[in-house]
């Protein structure tokens, strides 16, 4: 669809109204597939944060006492609106991220709709302990109640999906929210707020565009009682420290550096093909991406060759998009340029000679556990491969990083697979697959990957607080 001058200006959504920043300041948004500026968004300041938090606090007085059935109906209608506005949401997301439009429409939009519909149903099914007489002459019961105003901060890799994962459980539990999308990718989230507005009281959902200073002002606002963040470890640490000053509840889904254990009893070609497809999806900009492969030494050489062949078939611009920004491209290139002598780029490794921030699908073999590209999250279309000799070594290497979000194990041996699911220090373990999520199961990590869960009933409960009532 042709973009009008009005469409090229993104606005905040505060108290049911679409507004520029009070200061008039804007951030120019760059399409990473072309490198050209295509929209502008508000750079919100303290006055905008105050307005959004005040609107959320006022809406909480009514939204928090609506029935679960009323919240369900609102979320189901929002899900329907997302489907009805699919073309507009695709255009907004693709403009900011450069993702292939067909992949976003086919892979991400259905999951976004499903998240809203799952939490719509979950709103009416909150679990709780049975009432009982735990002391003579008195009956106790447990209430599950909303927390209050939630500050939510989402990343640039999956702008609309991460917003849905945050907004849907918060509203389902009876909270109100102020959500700040990443400063490079606010367009689809701002549009979501506009199309949801007809089904929510003004102020229940507010979207505030801006930069890190906007986020800092938001998380420190006294009306905020819970902070939910998907982002980097650095951001999570800073936010947790800021939240401690006011004892705000914190929910963190942070970085990942997913180990993939490939044993010597797999079908080499089909396993390499599946892992290549998943690893380079979204240009590897995914906290659960299978980017750290541990391969049994008996099949190592054959597997590296198969993986490199399948990686070389991945087409930038068709099978995956660009890096999100010039800064992110430079970060990945720095890691590639700093490889130790023992590591080898088997395929890829170069920026494409075309507009935009595109990098070839890359495989690095011969890495060692202490290498920076093994220990740190690369967040680009880069996969490392290292050897292991036995099961114990594979598990030790897999766990020997500071992250703990996701992992997978590939083997025909069921008992070996079950041992790995128990031994891997991650919040998610896949067996003979990688990357699939479902709304019914939690998505979260351990160690420096954070705490708290997105999706599932666990995700809903994170947005509630318990109250003991004794009669």
Q: Can you name the residues that pair with 228 across neighbouring β-strands?
A: 152, 251
Catalytic pick among 223, 274, 287, 360: 287
**253 labelled catalytic:** yes
Q: Give the CA distances from residue 389 to residues 257, 261, 271, 295, in Å, rounded to whole numbers and listed in that order.
A: 21, 11, 19, 9
Catalytic pick among 108, 253, 377, 391: 253
Q: How far apart are CA 29 and CA 39, in angstroms?
A: 5
User: CB–CB of 445/256 below 8 Å?
Assistant: yes
User: CB–CB of 194/13 below 8 Å?
Assistant: yes
In this structure, the dihedral spanned by the alpha carbons of residues 423, 454, 464 and 160, taken in order and rounded to 10 degrees, is: 170
Q: How far apart are CA 154 and CA 152, in angstroms?
A: 7
Q: Give the CA distances from residue 390 to residues 223, 243, 365, in Å, rounded to whole numbers and listed in that order.
A: 53, 44, 19
Q: Let me know how long the chain is.
A: 471
Q: How far apart are CA 8 and CA 342, in angstroms?
A: 48
Q: How far apart are CA 300 and CA 386, in angstroms?
A: 8
Place of tokens 């080499």: 268
Bridge-based pairing state of the strands 12-14 and 17-19: antiparallel
Residue 19 phi/psi, 5-degree rounding, is -135, 145
- Closest C-alpha among 426, 422, 376, 379 to residue 398: 426
Q: How far apart are CA 96 and CA 29, in angstroms?
A: 7
Cα-Cα end-to-end distance for the chain:
61
Q: Give the CA distances from residue 250 to residues 69, 195, 209, in Å, rounded to whole numbers and listed in that order.
A: 27, 28, 21
DSSP element (H, E) containing 382: strand 382-388
**287 labelled catalytic:** yes
In this structure, the dihedral spanned by the alpha carbons of residues 101, 161, 126 and 436, taken in order and rounded to 10 degrees, is: 70
Instruction: Measure the CA angle with vertex 254, ends 11 and 286; round to 5°.
Output: 80
Instruction: Measure the CA angle with vertex 118, ends 113 and 121; round to 5°.
Output: 130
- Closest C-alpha among 455, 55, 454 to residue 229: 454
* Positions marked catalytic: 253, 287
């Amino acid at each position: 669809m042709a973009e009008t001058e009005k469409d090229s200006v993104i606005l905040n959504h505060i108290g049911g109204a679409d507004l520029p920043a009070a200061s008039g300041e804007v951030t120019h948004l760059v399409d990473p597939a072309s490198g050209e500026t295509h929209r502008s968004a508000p750079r919100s300041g303290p006055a905008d944060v105050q307005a959004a938090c005040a609107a959320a606090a006022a809406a909480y007085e009514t939204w928090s006492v609506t029935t679960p059935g009323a919240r369900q109906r609102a979320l189901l209608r929002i899900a329907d609106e997302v489907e009805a506005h699919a073309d507009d949401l695709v255009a907004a997301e693709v403009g900011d991220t450069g993702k292939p439009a067909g992949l976003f429409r086919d892979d991400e939009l259905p999951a976004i709709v499903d998240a809203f519909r799952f939490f719509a149903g979950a709103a009416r099914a909150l679990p709780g302990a049975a009432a009982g007489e735990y002391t003579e002459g008195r009956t106790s019961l447990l209430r599950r109640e909303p927390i209050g105003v939630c500050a939510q901060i989402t990343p640039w890799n999956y702008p609309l999906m991460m917003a849905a994962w945050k907004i849907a459980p918060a509203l389902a539990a009876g909270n109100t929210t102020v959500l700040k999308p990443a400063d490079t990718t606010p367009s689809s989230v701002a549009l979501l707020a506009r199309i949801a507005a007809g089904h929510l009281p003004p102020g229940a959902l507010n979207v505030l565009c801006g930069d890190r200073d906007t986020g800092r002002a938001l998380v420190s606002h006294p009306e905020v009682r819970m902070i939910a963040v998907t982002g980097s470890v650095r951001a999570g640490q800073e936010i947790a420290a800021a939240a401690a000053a006011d004892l705000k509840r914190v929910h963190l889904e942070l970085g990942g550096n997913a180990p993939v254990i490939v044993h010597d009893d797999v079908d080499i070609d089909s396993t390499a093909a599946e892992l290549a497809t998943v690893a380079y999806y979204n240009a590897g900009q995914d906290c659960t991406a299978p980017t750290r492969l541990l391969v049994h030494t008996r099949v190592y050489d054959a597997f590296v060759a198969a993986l490199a062949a399948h990686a070389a078939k991945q087409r930038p611009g068709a099978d995956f998009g660009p890096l999100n920004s010039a800064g992110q491209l430079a970060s990945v290139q720095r890691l590639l340029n700093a490889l130790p002598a023992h590591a080898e780029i088997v395929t890829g490794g170069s920026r494409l000679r075309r507009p935009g921030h595109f990098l070839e699908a890359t495989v690095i073999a011969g890495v060692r556990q202490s290498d920076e590209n093994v220990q740190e999250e690369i967040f680009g279309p880069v996969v490392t491969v290292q050897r292991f000799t036995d099961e114990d070594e594979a598990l030790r290497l897999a766990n020997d990083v500071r992250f703990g979000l996701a992992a997978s194990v590939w083997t025909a041996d069921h008992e070996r697979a079950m041992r790995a699911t128990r031994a891997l220090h991650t919040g998610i373990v896949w067996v003979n697959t990688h990357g699939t999520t479902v709304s019914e199961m939690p998505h979260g990590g351990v160690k420096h990957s954070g705490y708290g869960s997105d999706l599932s009933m666990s995700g809903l409960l994170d947005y509630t607080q318990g109250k003991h009532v004794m009669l």
